Structure 1
Amino acid sequence: MSSPVFALNHMVAPRLSLDDFFKLGTALGIHQFEIRNDLAGNAILNGILPETVRAAAAGHGAEIISINALQRFNDWTLAREQEARDLASFAAACGAKALVLVPVNDGTGQAEGERQRNLREALTGLKPILGQAGIWGLVEPLGFRICSLRSKREAVEAIEAIGGGDRFRLVHDTFHHVLAGEPDLFPDWTGLVHISGVDDPSIAVDDMRDPHRVLVTERDRLANIGQIRALCDAGYGGPFSFEPFAPSVHDAADPLKMLRASMALIRSGLH
């Protein structure tokens, strides 16, 4: 199979400025990037102009594939609607192609019927906002047991129910895919894949959390290479974006070296 197209989420090196983040990617031959609105000191919507972000990306030949993220998107309130409008406007102005949509993850909104209703209400509200901005909404189910949207199938059913196929796609996150225990892939509905690994042998799957998420190593317990192969074989041709949350990655003295090694490991495992 051909080599996957890699991308970088700013969470891979959250202390880098946007300019240095783009430099890191281009040094690796990566030209697709996810920017974030939740990084202390480096967050967008933190006083930086979208035109500044667009110019920085253009200077490095970088494509901004998403802004990550509208949190609690399926708790649709007037405040959430305004937040969505602000993020969508920023995305359009800075040249981002999509907005990642992260569901409520605090143990609320999980009841049968309630969660489906909340999801459809939010997607219905988001569709014209995203359409006006000319961007995609990328729905990211989370595998945690306390999450209000764990199932990719449930997300697809809701998107279809509100006629949102022209505006929404899924994020397949290799970490959350394992935690959710939902075996089905939805390659035709997938617009982005997040990749990260867990290599701590002592942690149970149900106890895995964001700080355990490192780059993909030879000790990976999430079968990232198998997931990537399966998605590619099923027809997915989009980017695979590194999104580690572990402090050990964020504190790395040489993120370029770590990323290069992980990319090489994945490529060799696919051939």
Structure 2
Amino acid sequence: MSHPVFALNHMVAPGLSPRKFFELAKSLGLKDVEIRNDLGGNAIMDGTDASEVKALADEVGVRIATINALQRFNDWSPEREKEAIELADYARDVGAKALVLVPVNDGTGQRDGERQANLRSALKGLKPILEQRGLIGYVEPLGFEVCSLRSKREAVEAIQAVGGEERFKLVHDTFHHHLAGEPELFPAMTGLVHISGVTDPDVTVSAMRDPHRVLVDAEDRLGNIEQMRALIDQGYDGAFSFEPFAEEVQQLENPAEAVRDSMDGIRAGLV
């Protein structure tokens, strides 16, 4: 089993400044980081210029893999297009490789036929925006029952329908994969994997939400190790990015130690 390549999403420690976050990744021997546009007082939201964030990453010695994320991307409109252009400009200027695309997740746009048409329309609109800036769009299906894009197969079919194989990849999120209950993996179409675990023994799968998502450990109920092993066995060689949302992780005084323990446990489990 080849060694997995790990990355860090800023959600691991959202209270850290960009510099401290980059230094955390570097201290763990990691090269790739994901920055976010939904963290108050941090980088994008506080108006820090992209060139400044890029200079910080270069100075610390990490790469910005993605900006996470263009929300409601499959509800395409002039307003969404404007938002996509601004975020894509920032992603290009910060030196990111990709922009994560998150679908509508409020119970709307779910009807059969409607959701596929909405998805294709959004991908068609996004394709030239991404092409002009040399970016990849990472489409992230969410497993929540209210989500307008739960199926990776549906995402792949839409990407192929718009001739977007060079411009779009999937995010395989281990949490959302478990919730969606879709057995198929699409390693060749996968650009990034988000990893997090759920250890609460009492929560049902349909009731699992972001605050349940902790670092992957021996008590994990989502089958992270099995999912990672299957992806690697089927040829996936990209990064596995830690993306926990649980407050008990985000408020850790020593996140480096916790992430290191998780990485060690995953490596041992994959042997």
Structure 2: runs of 5 or more not aligned: none
Q: How many Å apart are 1:219 and its aligned residue?
A: 0.2
Q: Distance in 2 between matches of 1:158 and 1:41?
A: 36
| 2:268 is the alignment partner of 1:236 | no
Q: Distance in 1 between matches of 2:40 and 2:90?
A: 18
Which stretch shifts more, 40-49 or 166-175?
Answer: 40-49
Q: Secondary structure at the match of 1:44?
A: coil
Q: How many Å apart are 1:43 and its aligned residue?
A: 4.2
Identify the residue that residue 34 of structure 1 maps to in structure 2: 34
Superposition map of 1:19-30 within 5 A: 19-30=19-30
Equivalent residues of 2:34, 2:65 under 8 A apart: yes
State the one-letter code of the partner of 1:48: T
Q: How many Å apart are 1:60 and its aligned residue?
A: 1.3
State the one-letter code of the partner of 1:235: G
| 2:169 is the alignment partner of 1:176 | no
Q: How many Å apart are 1:2 and its aligned residue?
A: 1.5
Q: How many Å apart are 1:213 and its aligned residue?
A: 0.1
Q: Distance in 2 between matches of 1:14 and 1:230?
A: 30
Identify the residue that residue 159 of structure 2 maps to in structure 1: 159
Identify the residue that residue 2 of structure 1 maps to in structure 2: 2
Q: Secondary structure at the match of 2:2?
A: coil
Superposition map of 1:24-173 within 5 A: 24-173=24-173
Q: Distance in 2 between matches of 1:236 and 1:265?
A: 20
Q: Distance in 1 between matches of 2:75 and 2:31?
A: 33
Q: Secondary structure at the match of 1:20?
A: helix
Q: Distance in 2 between matches of 1:48 and 1:18?
A: 10
Q: Distance in 2 between matches of 1:129 and 1:60?
A: 30
Q: Secondary structure at the match of 1:150?
A: coil
Q: Distance in 1 between matches of 2:213 and 2:64?
A: 23
- Tell me the percent identity: 65
Q: How many Å apart are 1:46 and its aligned residue?
A: 2.7
Q: How many Å apart are 1:45 and its aligned residue?
A: 4.4
Equivalent residues of 2:92, 2:135 under 8 A apart: yes
Q: Distance in 2 between matches of 1:45 and 1:17?
A: 12
Equivalent residues of 2:39, 2:45 under 8 A apart: no
* 1:135-170 superposed Cα distances (whole Å, 9 cap, x missing partner): 000000000000000000000000000000110000
Q: Distance in 2 between matches of 1:169 and 1:2?
A: 22
| 2:7 is the alignment partner of 1:12 | no
State the one-letter code of the partner of 2:145: R
State the one-letter code of the partner of 1:262: S
Identify the residue that residue 207 of structure 2 maps to in structure 1: 207
Q: Secondary structure at the match of 2:30?
A: coil
* 1:196-234 superposed Cα distances (whole Å, 9 cap, x missing partner): 000000000000000000000110000101111000000
Identify the residue that residue 188 of structure 1 maps to in structure 2: 188
Q: Distance in 2 between matches of 1:265 and 1:240?
A: 14
Q: Secondary structure at the match of 1:219?
A: coil
